[in-house]
Amino acid sequence: MSNNYSIDLDFDKNHIWHPYTSMIDPLPVYPVARTFDNRIVLETGEELIDGMASWWSAIHGYGHPKLIAAIQQQAAKMSHVMFGGLTHAPAVELCKKLVAITPSPLQKVFLADSGSVAVEVAIKMALQFWLSRGFHHKRKLMTAKKGYHGDTFAAMSVCDPVNSMHSMYQGFLPEHVFVPAPQTSFFAQPNELELLQLREYFVTHHHECAAFIIEPIVQNAGGMNFYHPSYLKALRDLCDEFEVLLILDEIATGFGRTGTLFASEHADISPDILCIGKALTGGMMTLSATLTTDQVALGISQGEAKVLMHGPTFMGNPLACNVACASIDLLVENDWQTQVTALADGLQALQACQTLDAVKNVRVLGGIGVVEVNRQVNVAKIQAYFIKLGVWIRPFGKLIYIMPPYTTPTADLALLCEAVFKAIAADEF
Ligand SMILES: *Cc1c(COP(=O)(O)O)cnc(C)c1O
């Protein structure tokens, strides 16, 4: 049965919360009728070129026949079954693929239903690991400012304290050790001084810290900061030297977005715990995973608790696992490296924005292009303008950024970049 509901926008406005909005004075929302390829079609008829890949997830564009088939075939066989005491082929096949494509020390997989939950699980793993080895004082995390790790409480506690309004939750949110955000740009020379300062934090705090958690190479929702691989390399060494686990949150960067399959490859390192999500199912279903090493898994299992205390109802959902398998196959089949290189080339057109007075910085890495302007963007205003130009781009703060589906045709990529230039040049932000 196809659904033919018409969208009641008044009901939406009066009853439904959208992300990070007020219930009294919400930002406008645009009703979507359907999506295909790299297009979002509005109820009002406009066909928009997608610049966001639905928050990093729709890497193969929308409605890919192989992804649709993976869901349809699985739904006809078994849509969901509890993962407690039962297992199934889609979960086993997916975990095999994940173990194969992630850095080789990562051997054990925990499947969950969203990125935030994957981060919660990673934090539990780290705490339980040290606890089971008798390190009862390792109860905190270290992290860098400007990070983003999700909106549940433990995940939020390691997000940038200012951006995620930590002051509002004082006394409720666990307090962790924040180091300065990585300073040295991906494109600059390594900075020894910065790394020495990082070391000081480890000297002072390692005894109370179970893990350091960070997004490798690209700090996304906390400021689209592209930082130098030498920072990650140093982190890996410091974590080893000071007995702190390294958690890499690749929920945004995973599956090729930065030009390597996982961003940790830019620094040639491997974490103790890895979180992935977003593009895992090609944007078709919600699914995430937390991977860890034999050492961490054994540590947890030999401890007092003996088990990892987590188990979501929809853990290992067969529909999500099956479409994730198909999406990973598509990455290889489509030659994602060539696709992302083409995106990186096309996104260089954003450099034209450098000539505009309002622009502070333009940066491109893999399939991510960022234009930083010198004032807060008026989201409602710029989006109305973008829709007139036929593109879907949603800025935040001072950042107008695009990370389109890997399948975006060159001509559409040019139109996305041109739209960003025009919006700034016409002062429509
Ligand atoms: C989006 C994101 C999360 C949270 O994932 P959800 O699926 O929204 O819970 C965590 N970490 C990073 C780096 C992300 O980009």
Residue 184 and residue 231: Cα distance in Å, rounded? 8
The predicted structure's pLDDT at residue 114: 98
Rg of the chain (C-alpha set): 22
For the chain, counts of helices (H) and of strands (E): 13, 16
Residues with a known catalytic role: 20, 148, 249, 278
Residue 201 and residue 179: Cα distance in Å, rounded? 7
Tokens found for residue 112:
């969950």
Average pLDDT over residues 136-155: 96
Which residues' Cβ are closer than 6 Å to ligand 1?
114-116, 119, 148-150, 215, 220-221, 249, 251-252, 277-278
254 CA distance to ligand 1 centroid (A)?
A: 11
Average pLDDT, the chain: 96
330 CA distance to ligand 1 centroid (A)?
A: 23
The answer to whether the CB of 16 falls within 8 A of the CB of 26 is no
CA 266 to mean position of chain CA atoms: 17
Mutate to test the pocket of ligand 1, among 55, 141, 149, 152 (most ligand atoms within 8 A of CB): 149
The predicted structure's pLDDT at residue 163: 86
Beta-strand relationship, 359-365 and 391-392: unpaired
Tell me whether residue 394 is annotated as binding: yes
DSSP-assigned letter for residue 279: G
**Weakest mean pLDDT among 65-74, 240-249, 295-304:** 295-304
**Whose C-alpha lies nearest to ligand 1, atom 15?**
252
pLDDT of 2 above 70: no
pLDDT of 1 above 70: no
Average pLDDT over residues 197-213: 98
136 CA distance to ligand 1 centroid (A)?
A: 29
Confidence of residue 166 (pLDDT cuts 50, 70, 90): confident
Tell me whether residue 311 is annotated as binding: yes
